[in-house]
Amino acid sequence: MEANLPKRKETRKSMRIKVISMGNAEAGKSCIIKRYCEKRFVPKYLATIGIDYGVTKVQVRDREIKVNIFDMAGHPFFYEVRNEFYKDTQGVILVYDVGQKESFEALDTWLAEMKQELGPHGNIENIVFVVCANKIDCTKHRCVDESEGRLWAESRGFLYFETSAQTGEGINEMFQTFYSAIIDLCDNGGKRPAMGMSIGFTKEQADTIRRIRGSKDSWDMLGVKPGATRDEVNKAYRKLAVLLHPDKCVAPGSEDAFKAVVNARTALLKNIK
């Protein structure tokens, strides 16, 4: 017997989600939201006072979603106002300015603030985070490169996009992927689907790349004391080479880190008898 199939594909039930923006003042949070919702760019800086709230309807795959967006003021002065808005959030847009290193370094502080406000029972693992490396149009002033930002985001299981609210680059793709991930999360009973967790590299690899980037000289880079012997240098090099070899490591920035380690070893061995 033939199954009694519906003629038209049914549109699935609409859903409502809550999204917040976080990041330092002037990183471009309001402009990113305006660019997506109103298709325009506001060059003049108008600081958000406390919270800006908006509702928007979007179509993602076969779903209509109503999005409540809470655009948070980045200035520390507004901490008291924004702290009550962290609860019941499904998605976070975490923004930094690629020309302002402090805004990138502040991402950890923003996460810590959110964790603190959610308290011990708030599960940050079940929230979709998208990191926006914003103002990529300002190429001359860029000081946080893509691999550094991507590594920070992906090692935490967060999405990462390069965006410009001014030109619109990356904005639609970012929101579509972000909303899509939130739908997957809701369909999965509010738990981040396992797929999003598989990042393809280890915490040790990510931490090592970060350590290498921040090292002050070749000794420090190889993790040996100044004056170490050839054997010690070679041993340290081999360990790092196995960990970061481009054939084995797909973490953002691993290729540059591997090259830096090779160069550091060569430089040190030249001067060790």
Ligand X SMILES: Nc1nc2c(ncn2[C@@H]2O[C@H](COP(=O)(O)OP(=O)(O)OP(=O)(O)O)[C@@H](O)[C@H]2O)c(=O)[nH]1
List of residues contacting ligand X (CB under 6 A): 23, 25-31, 42-43, 45, 47-48, 73-75, 134-135, 137-138, 164-166
Q: By C-alpha distance, which of 48, 64, 52, 28 is closest to 179?
A: 64
C-beta of 135 vs 265, nearer to ligand X: 135
C-beta of 33 vs 233, nearer to ligand X: 33
User: How many Å apart are CA 139 and CA 122, to the nearest integer?
Assistant: 38
C-beta of 82 vs 265, nearer to ligand X: 82
Secondary element (H or E) of residue 93 = strand 91-97
CB of 71 to ligand X, least distance (A): 7
Name the region of 72 (left: φ>0; alpha: ψ -120 to 50; beta: rest): beta
Secondary element (H or E) of residue 82 = helix 79-82
CB of 170 to ligand X, least distance (A): 9
Buried b (16+ CB within 10 A) or exposed e, 31-52: bbbbbbeeeeeeeeeeebeebb
C-beta of 25 vs 124, nearer to ligand X: 25
- How would you class 96 by CB atoms within 10 Å of its CB: exposed for 0-12, middle for 13-18, buried for 19 or more? buried
What number of other Cβ atoms are within 10 A of residue 140's Cβ? 5
CB of 19 to ligand X, least distance (A): 14
CB of 63 to ligand X, least distance (A): 28
CB of 20 to ligand X, least distance (A): 12
C-beta of 121 vs 140, nearer to ligand X: 140
C-beta of 90 vs 164, nearer to ligand X: 164
CB of 226 to ligand X, least distance (A): 43
Dihedral pair phi/psi, residue 112, rounded to 5°: -65, -40
Helices and strands (DSSP H and E) totals, the chain: 11, 6
